[in-house]
Amino acid sequence: MTVMTVTGSTTTRATGGPPALVAVAHGSRDPRALSTVSALLDRVRALRPGLPVHLGHIELNEPLLPDTLAALGDGSAVLVPLLLSRGYHVKRDIPDMAAASPARTRVAAPLGPHPLLVDALHARLLEAGWPTRAPRDAAVVLASAGSRDPDSRTDTARTASLLAARLGVPVLPAYASASSPTVPDAVHTLTSRGHRRVAIASYFTAPGRFATQSTTAAPWIAASPLGTHPAMAHLLLHRYDETVSLNTGSASIRWATATP
């Protein structure tokens, strides 16, 4: 896991309280995305009363991340990407926005891969009708947004492996854009191998165009996005806590590497 510490200010004044948690969402034209993320952050606030929790978007929705950071002044914050793998947004967009702000910021790792995500994926499949004992001809397509970054594909494949171990059936990662296989292609691959019951696990943090598009390819059942599942709130706080712990006592700009 890689955590980046960046700052757009030379000030090192202590604020006297914990760094704020700034959840960084991608943004979506689907109004359900903003309401879902807002509800998820309400869960985080309920778990950690007294922790300042804010929201910033990379694009499409307000508040945009630069505006959220500007409102913090030169205070300290941990930016937790509401993204499920490494990719351009995690490696470039978010650190660049953080570095341009007056706030003293640290950027946490993306949410995935992590066992808590597998908890949420499994629960969403059960809600959609996945049996407690999977049939021998069942399989799952792990539908995600997709990225041209090979690290993103590695992370998604890792989550697929973890979910396969949990379910005891094959899980094939697939992508709604920018990478292959597509979700329909993954469904075809599994059915051609004799899997008559193929489910779609929705590896998205909130509803949106890609999540909706992916479910239309489901030949059997399709799970809802991860959304406000309790494991998501716990994972947000976990990424926040590990970043605070990793950077305690550090006032310099540096890359820090730790083994999860």
Chain mean pLDDT for the chain: 90
CB 1 within 8 A of CB 258: yes
Contacts of 42 (CB under 8 A, 6+ apart): none
CB 57 within 8 A of CB 25: yes
**What DSSP character marks residue 222?**
B
Q: Which residue has the tokens 């090979």?
A: 150
Q: Return the pLDDT at 73.
A: 96
CA proximity to 214, closest of 170, 168, 172, 164: 172
Does the pTM of the predicted model rise above 0.75?
Answer: yes
Q: Return the pLDDT at 17.
A: 87
> Each residue of 96-152: pLDDT tens digit?
999 999 999 999 999 999 999 999 999 999 999 999 999 999 999 999 998 999 999
Exposure string for 122-158, b = 16+ CB within 10 A, e = fewer? bbbbeebebeeebeeebbbbbbbbbbebeebbebbbe
